[in-house]
């Protein structure tokens, strides 16, 4: 199945700063999701954006989607130490509820 692909990033930022990470994919999608994974744990759903949406907000999260460029970005504003995690985008490119995950971005927020 097709994989969403983030630009490989390992971000290290100070608490209070914003963190931005990107994701690109190859085929047409109906929606794109972002998940967070704390070290050695399962994934937590953060936000879903549909193909007819360009931007979506949820608390300190802002997601954009550019279907013409087949890319998405996740912005975390006013980062906190608790935001330290890996972040993955996932698309529905697999069909039948199957998710295709990108490579992930590791974010470290320094208190």
Partner 1 sequence: GAVVSQHPSWVICKSGTSVKIECRSLDFQATTMFWYRQFPKQSLMLMATSNEGSKATYEQGVEKDKFLINHASLTLSTLTVTSAHPEDSSFYICSAPKSPDSSYEQYFGPGTRLTVT
Letters for 48-87 (x = contact with partner 1 by CB under 8 A, - = none) are x-x-------------------------------------
Largest CA distance in the chain: 41
Query: Which stretch in 13-21, 29-37, 52-60, 67-75 sits in contact with partner 1 by CB under 8 A?
Result: 29-37
Query: Which stretch in 11-19, 57-65, 77-85, 94-102 sits in contact with partner 1 by CB under 8 A?
Result: 94-102
Residue with smaller CB distance to partner 1, 68 or 97: 97
> C-alpha angle with apex 101: 39 to 64, nearest 5 degrees?
95
**Cα torsion at 40, 105, 26, 30 (round to 10°)?**
70
Residues 6+ apart with CB under 8 A from 18: 75, 76, 77, 78, 79
Query: Which stretch in 16-24, 36-44, 65-73, 74-82 sits in contact with partner 1 by CB under 8 A?
Result: 36-44
Output the CA torsion sign for 103, 77, 84, 90: negative
Q: Which of 71, 72, 74, 101 binds partner 1 (CB under 8 A)?
A: 101
């Amino acid at each position: 199945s097709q994989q969403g692909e983030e630009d490989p990033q390992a971000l290290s930022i100070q608490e209070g700063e914003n963190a931005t990470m990107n994701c690109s994919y190859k085929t047409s999608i109906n929606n794109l999701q972002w998940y967070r994974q704390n070290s050695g744990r399962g994934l937590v759903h953060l936000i879903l954006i549909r193909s007819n949406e360009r931007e979506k907000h949820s608390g300190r999260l802002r997601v954009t989607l550019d279907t013409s460029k087949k890319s998405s970005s996740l912005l975390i504003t006013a980062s906190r130490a608790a935001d330290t995690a890996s972040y993955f985008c996932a698309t529905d490119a697999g069909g039948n509820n199957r998710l295709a995950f990108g490579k992930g971005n590791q974010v470290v927020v320094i208190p």
